[in-house]
Structure 1
Amino acid sequence: MLGKVKKWRRVKRHHRKRVRELAPPTNQPQPIRIHTWVPRDSPALFQVESERLEPAVREAVGIVSNLLSVNRVPGHLLLSRDINKYCKFIWRNASAANYNKCGRANENYRTETCLDVIIPDDHLSGCSVYSEPDAPTTTVIRPEGAGLPDTDFLLYLHAQSTDKCRAEPSVLAYAVHCQTDSQGRPLAGVVVICRDRLTGEGYSHQGTVQTVIHELFHALGFSKELFSTWRDCSYSQPGMGCSPWGQVTNTDETGQVRIYTQSVIRALQDHLLSTDPELGGPLENLDVGYSGLSSHWESRVLQGSIMAAALGDPAVVRVDPVTLAALQDTGWYSVNHSRAQSLVWGKAVVVNG
């Protein structure tokens, strides 16, 4: 039985600084182009591991690309360098021509990383030093990389037995996003596959496909680290000047943290056959961090969802309408809802209101 939630008030919207500005997007969203890149320092896989992982990743990427469309990145995708890493001094005089540009290089700067992946220089934009506050003369620290053509999201795929994998045997994989564009959409992310899980007893191809989809969804936006950057596109095309929601989560009177966005509420209403206008998507209570938020649905309500904390039997895991509604409400994607899969459990559970 779900409790009736308190009246939700949207908090004041605010703008957040983004990693870098890209060229203007194309007009119509198109299927997201996900480029998979295996870092050079990743350990070589045994044949049986490769034969299991590679087709599972290809299938997962294909499924996600058929579900989500974006305003495509024109030209080549280049990730940004962190000025606070490569620069020792930044011009802070707002009247200077080189305001907020690097004035002195950090001699200890080496490269950029995401999680434990070293991002190749070829994937990164260049960086320069402006030795005078108003002079256009520059010294190049790193040249512009070639970038990646036909890419809207760069997936760094890491298969190895990490400390986290060893410490938490129940963990199959984990993910993090690396950088975002001017609208907050993730441009790159790392998915770590715990290598031992590729050779263990009971290996499942379909389960691995679902695990990769789950982790991709985290890196693409279904993450407590990104909830506060979701954008309201009620009156705009996704990715085209939408306003920040400000806050998409709140706590109901029972202490349940929920996502309160329009598409999520409608999808949960449809699932539970409810007319409650404030029926938010419930988040897991058990895996919350210091923020009090989880990156997973509460399985007691959305058991079998691709974004539950534990996926379980692959035969009953679904890329469900509530998850796709959440991805729609990030403001970064046009979602192909016709490919949503109805959940096996919980349909039409009676709720208050």
Structure 2
Amino acid sequence: MLSWTFWFVVTSHNHECPHDKLTKQFLVRAHLEDSYKSTKNTIAALVGQNEPFNQPIRINLHYNFTFLGATLFILNLIIIICVKATTSEGLTIMGQVKENLELILTVRRTPGPLRLRRYCVNNERNFTLTGPTEPCPNRCSNESVICTVFPVPSEHLQRCVECNGDSSNCVEAYSDGPGIEADLALYVYGINVNCGRSTIAFAAACQLEDQYDRPISGIINFCPSNINDDEQVFQVAKHEVFHVLGFSNNLYPWYRDENGNPRTSRDANGNPPTDANGRYVAAETTVKVVNLTDWQTRFGPVNKTIIQLVTPKVVEIARRHFNCNTLEGVQLEDQGSSGTAGSHWEKRLLNYEAMTGVISQNLAFSNFSYALLEDSGWYKVNYSNASRLVWGRGDGCGYVAGSCGGYIDSKKRQNQPIAPFCDFFTDNEFNPQNLSCNIDRTAVAFCSLVDNYLYVTSFVSIPQEYQYFNSGANFDSSPTRLPFYGGRVQAADFCPYYLDLFRRAPRGICRKGIPL
């Protein structure tokens, strides 16, 4: 343990990702121009062969920061996001994200130009249609919007035919706009709507092309009052664009296999099955519900239901990373709202991975998230660009298949280190003691085991399935206190681990072999 004291405030620098603050029913499938323009491609389509991935993805950025009015916060946001150069090449933050992703992803070439679908309207409300080429039964919407409410240029929209209640007398209300030459149209906004205290941005896919169901448009909204750090904003922006590209429980039902065939069965209109709430549901070959029967708590083993992504490339990467050849899938986050749960990796297992629901320090866009995009069937991925993930590497099947409490107990019985977790109580976050190095040895850190009564002021204890400790080296083991002891990060299943201090240790101190 490091023995000296650091006299400064501890902070976690977390971004809590709500992902899609919008309703789940807005996804629209748009029919693009015929992509089979050669005899060779026509024959390939007729015999069911897959089109080649021959186009580095082209992302078109369109900014709109003023549709709800301008403020000083928004002016600052404009400077940070799309004016201020953050690289020697003069790229802005969103320019960096665009360039980075265009080097990573290859797609089947989008028939150009790209045009998005216009909404229909009935009783003054916008709505979407089941099929991608249907005319509007009543009227075409006169609003140029996507994702229900976000304005886009009318020049980016397709023609729209309306029938005014008479299907035998339909007429063209709007003609095709010129469109854009791109594979993904990404619309960037900056409004304080659906912006929580810890939310820097949120994003969602809005429209899919109807041949392979790949997302072709999406929105990303930055919360102006929460923007202050360029590097953090870049990481958050890339995280949010990954949601648009495919990392979303709204998109799993639309995934394709390596041959371009749907992973989930489709109806006559090309849509996946729905649940009782009308939401599309992915097949168990993509997302699977699993019941863990040996989830260890301080009360003994209990059952816990989890959701896993079980697509082939993700499983291959996970087995190699965790050193667990029997692993059947990678757990998705089960904490938080519908925009967090199911659309991120489980933070307990992959803490530093950039696509967990609470983004903190030492982010790694790793092979896990790259594999997910490839398993969508929409992209080929350049894995050489992936970051190395240290968290959980080589920790075995016991680490993946159970609670952190069970893992800690098992390691203690074997007299082995319990990393990446810890069990030392921190009673003073302004002057934490017993410091150590974090798991990848980039910073001095403190154990996040705390009395959660300080955070849960309603006297509600931690859920029993996340109560792991009956005793500890330096905390009160009385029955009245034990129900509140756990890690301070709820998304990590209340598992305690080492959190970085606000400032790093003296240069190189954690690189010199000091024990964790």
Partner Cα distance (1:124, 1:87) in 2:
20
* TM-score calculated relative to the size of structure 1: 0.78
Note if 1:289 corresponds to 2:338. Answer: yes
Alignment match, 1:270: 320
Contact 1:85/1:109 (<8 A) preserved: no
Contact 1:37/1:157 (<8 A) preserved: yes
2:175 pairs, out of 135, 143, 159, with 143
Contact 1:31/1:70 (<8 A) preserved: yes
Q: What residue identity is the alignment partner of 2:30?
A: R
- Paired residues for 1:82-161 under 5 Å: 82-83=119-120, 101-102=135-136, 104-105=138-139, 109-129=142-162, 139-149=171-181, 151-161=182-192
Partner Cα distance (1:169, 1:340) in 2:
30
Contact 1:30/1:71 (<8 A) preserved: yes
CA apart distance, 1:222: 0.3
Alignment match, 1:344: 390
Alignment match, 1:64: 101
CA apart distance, 1:53: 1.4
- Paired residues for 1:40-59 under 5 Å: 41=67, 43-44=69-70, 48-54=76-82, 55-59=92-96
Q: How many residues are treated as equivalent by the alignment?
A: 306
Alignment match, 2:247: 222
Q: What residue identity is the alignment partner of 1:286?
A: Q
Partner Cα distance (1:336, 1:329) in 2:
13
Q: What residue identity is the alignment partner of 1:325?
A: A
Alignment match, 1:13: none
CA apart distance, 1:49: 3.0
Alignment match, 1:174: 202
1:329–1:87 CA distance, 2 compared to 1 (3 A): farther
Partner Cα distance (1:306, 1:260) in 2:
19
Query: Structure 1: any 5+ residue segments left out of the alignment?
Result: 1-16, 89-98
Contact 2:29/2:208 (<8 A) preserved: yes
Partner Cα distance (2:154, 2:198) in 1:
35
Contact 1:177/1:188 (<8 A) preserved: yes
Partner Cα distance (2:337, 2:145) in 1:
29
Partner Cα distance (1:102, 1:196) in 2:
40
Partner Cα distance (2:137, 2:306) in 1:
49
Note if 1:76 corresponds to 2:76. Answer: no
Residues 51-108 of structure 1 show CA distances to partners (whole Å, capped at 9, x for unaligned) of 32121111112112211111122321100123465999xxxxxxxxxx95446536x7
Partner Cα distance (1:116, 1:195) in 2:
19
**3-state SS of paired residue (2:397):** coil
1:194–1:133 CA distance, 2 compared to 1 (3 A): closer
Partner Cα distance (2:253, 2:370) in 1:
18
Alignment match, 1:94: none
CA apart distance, 1:271: 0.9
Residues 187-220 of structure 1 show CA distances to partners (whole Å, capped at 9, x for unaligned) of 1111011101224xxx2x2211110011000011
Contact 1:87/1:102 (<8 A) preserved: no
Partner Cα distance (1:288, 1:195) in 2:
22
